[in-house]
Every structure is written in C-alpha cells, then in structure tokens.
Structure 1
Amino acid sequence: MAAAATRRRKAEEVVEKAMKGNDASHDASHVWRVRDLALSIAREEGLSSNSDSMEIVELAALLHDIGDYKYIRDPSEAKLVENFLDEQGVEETKKLKILKIINGMGFKDELSGQALCESLPEFGVVQDADRLDAIGAIGIARCFTFGGSRNRVLHDPEIKPRTELTKEQYMKKEEQTTINHFHEKLLKLKKLMKTEAGKRRAEKRHEFMEEFLKEFYQEWDGRA
C-alpha cells in the first residue's frame, strides 16, 4: 500500500508539471475531477475489493491526458507515461493495462472503430469518468474554454455540424464552431457510456446540455 501511495503522489507531481500552462479545459483540475469520478464509479461497479484494479483505475485516470495530441509540445512527451511507470517499478501486467486504457479511451479512437480494451473492466470506468467531465455544467464550461483558446466563433448558422464524422475529420483543425462541438461529440457521449454507474450519471448531465442549447438558440435568434 505504501508503494501505491508513493506512485500516486509521484503521478500527481507529473500531472502538475506536464499540464502547467494548458488552458482550463485540460488542466490539472480536470484530471483531479476525472480521478475522483473514476474511483467513485469503480466502487459502484464493485472493483474496490481488488486493490490492483483500483490502482490501475487511479493511475490511468491521473495520467490519461499526458501527451494529449491537442497539447503536445515535444514528440518525447508521448513516452512520458510509459517512462514514468517504468521508473516507478509498476509491474509489467499492470503497466500494460494502464497504457492500454490510456491509448484506447479517446473519442477519435471510437470513431475509427477501435475498441482496444472492452474486456478490461477498468477501461470503461476511466473512459466514462473522462467523458462525464466533458458533459453537463462543467462540460459546457470546458467546451467554451477550449473554443476560446482556439479562437473559434461561438456559433455560425451557416456552418453546419459535421455528420458521420471520421477520426481524420475530428482531428483536423479546420474551421469549426464551439456550438457544433456539442452536436459532433458531446451529445453523443451519453450513449457511449460503458458502465451502469456512468450511464446513470450521464442522464442528468445530458439533459442539462440539451436545456442549455435550447436556451442558447432562443437567445441567439432573439426569441428569449
């Protein structure tokens, strides 16, 4: 247990350092929320009786955004997580599970049809936690923070949301509006939840986004 506590503390230090300077949509606070959500979901899903599972969940949640392609500044950052796990002496089986979870949990991977770790119960827990932080009140705040950091316009009725989005289209930095991101991704996440605990939590957050968008469009058109 002492070793796990040390690894957790060291992982938190890595997060603080690696994510310093990111905009508030993908900062350390996002990671702390995802970690807390993941551990809560893991307990609801019955994983708490296995200390190895709980450590896999916590480390994957803490390290999941290190080397994110949207923020990567140096190619060497892509190896940060693997190097960290090696330095901390994380056993090979556990290390491979953590890396599999992190490498497979992105929305872009789901678009490409890659289901890398459906057989890992820890995978659904961490992915659901990350996706829950992308929806609801905080999800809305994060969406507009990210859009602002990329100088995107709020809304343009002439620019329609892209349908049947491919991985390549999703990753392309083409002109897009912040509001369209709700239709292209955020409103789809409720149906993509893997755990029962995640599905329950997503219901309320999804409804909140729908109400927000309804009010947004009414105000935009001068109807409210």
Structure 2
Amino acid sequence: MTGRSQTEDLARLFAPYESLAATLLGRWDGSIAEGDGSHDRSHLMRVWQLVRRIARGEPAADMEVLVVATLFHDCVAVEKNSPQRAMASRLSADVARRLLDGIGWQPARIEAVAHAIEAHSFSAGIAPRSTEAAILRDADRLDALGALGIARVFYIAGRLGTQLYDPDDPMAERRPLDDRRFALDHFETKLFLLSAGLVTPTGQEIGRQRTALMRAFVEDFGEEIAMPEDLALAD
C-alpha cells in the first residue's frame, strides 16, 4: 500500500490504535493488503473485528500486540500453491520484528508479536503459546469459515486455475481427496478441520456456527450436481 492517504485509511481501521498502526505503516516499504482478494484490506478489517470480539472474552490480552500482529500477519505474500507457503508467517514476523525494534519496543513484546504472527498460519504448524497468538489464529481461521469461507474457496480456485469439482466423483467416494485439483475437496481436506483447532471459547462458538453453514452448502452443492438416476444407469 502506497501513498499517505491510503496508509492513513488503513491505519484508521485499527482505532483506537491508529497512531501505532500509522507509525509502523510509515516505516514499512512493502505492500499491505494488495493483490490477493482473499487477503486484502477487507480481510484485515474482518480479522481485526474478530480479534476484538474474541479478545472481549480474554481480558488479559495485550491489544497493542494484537494490533501489530493483525496488521502485519500477512504482509509477506506467498501464493497458496508455492512450495515456500509454510514460510510466509515467519517472513511476516521478521518484518514486524524489524519495524518494532525501530520504534524502540522491548524485545519481549516484539517476540510476543512475532510469535502471534508465526503461529497464525495453518501451513506453518506452530502451536500458539500465548493468549494473543491464540486470539489471532482463531480470528484468521474463522475468516476461512462460513459464507466468507465458501466465497474464498472459489475465489482462490479461480486464481489458481483449479477445477470446481471432479465430474466423475465429486465427493471423492472412489478417489483420494485432492484440493490442488478440485476446489470442492478443500472443504474436507482443510476447512471442516479448522473448527476443531480453535482454542478460545468465543472462537469455538463462532466456528461451530460457520462450519455448520459450510456443511449445509456442501450437501446442497452435491444435490445440485448429482447425476439423474436414469443417466447414471445408462452410463
């Protein structure tokens, strides 16, 4: 993101911590929330709102740590089909370390931000060791669930050139799941598993609701694409 007005607009999303956000954005020479529509400005807005909602049930949470971790959790973009995908959160954490060191944050708080960023990633497989890390990870994963999660699955499928589903075996009854080829497979390979990994009470409640919505969608999807019985017999 470039330009003072765009930086200020992004910083204002993080009220009442917009001054801290603006300071750090002013020192960062990379892009934030550009290019990938599943990790754009609206994603930051949704994750921050979820972070705030979850944090209301976690009174010990350090909100300044969460502001910085949320703002920079995806600042180094690595495409989902890249072999370097698991490194994205670590690279983003390194950016946050440098920026926070530049404004004089204490090492322990810098590492609190860095850990929250590193642990938010599903691909990295890092367990959250702090309240802030648990909150950010839950918030980010919740954005991959529910109606938004459904939209993101098919948006990303379009970006990567993935088929919607296997026309010969849509529900993978006779083949291994493969979400690198078929978007529909991604629900079983990852999304239906996310709610089990949510750790905050608020996150778990939201996750159950959003996962139920997705399961209903997949059932409806399967009914709509089912081959009529007479054609199946003819085949």
TM-score (normalised: structure 1): 0.78
The CA deviation at 1:214 is 0.3
Query: Which structure 2 segments of 5+ residues have no match?
Result: 1-15, 229-235
Structure with bigger gyration radius: 2
Quick check: which one's helix share is greater?
1
Structure 1 distance, partners of 2:198, 2:65, is 19
Structure 1 distance, partners of 2:124, 2:68, is 21
User: For 1:183-221, what per-residue CA distance to the aligned partner results, in whole angstroms no more than 9, with x for missing partners?
Assistant: 111100111001001001111101000000001111111
Percent identical? 28
Query: Which structure 1 segments of 5+ residues have no match?
Result: 163-173
Q: Name the counterpart of 1:38.
A: 51
Q: What SS class does the counterpart of residue 25 from structure 1 fall into?
A: coil
Q: Which has the higher contact order (CA 8 A, sep 6+)?
A: 1
Q: What SS class does the counterpart of residue 184 from structure 2 fall into?
A: helix
The CA deviation at 1:132 is 0.4
Structure 2 distance, partners of 1:31, 1:15, is 17
State the one-letter code of the partner of 1:24: G
Q: Name the counterpart of 2:146.
A: 136
Given the superposition, is the C-alpha separation of residues 144 and 15 from structure 1 closer, same or farther in structure 2, using an over 3 Å criterion? farther
State the one-letter code of the partner of 1:161: L
Structure 1 distance, partners of 2:29, 2:147, is 24
Task: Please give the root-mean-square deviation of Cα atoms over the aligned residues, in Å.
Answer: 2.8
The CA deviation at 1:140 is 0.8
Equivalent positions of 1:77-156 (< 5 A) are 78=92, 79-110=94-125, 114-115=126-127, 117-118=128-129, 120-156=130-166
Given the superposition, is the C-alpha separation of residues 41 and 175 from structure 1 closer, same or farther in structure 2, using an over 3 Å criterion? closer
The CA deviation at 1:222 is 4.4
Q: Name the counterpart of 1:216.
A: 221
The CA deviation at 1:28 is 1.7
Aligned length: 198
Structure 2 distance, partners of 1:211, 1:92, is 46
TM-score (normalised: structure 2): 0.74
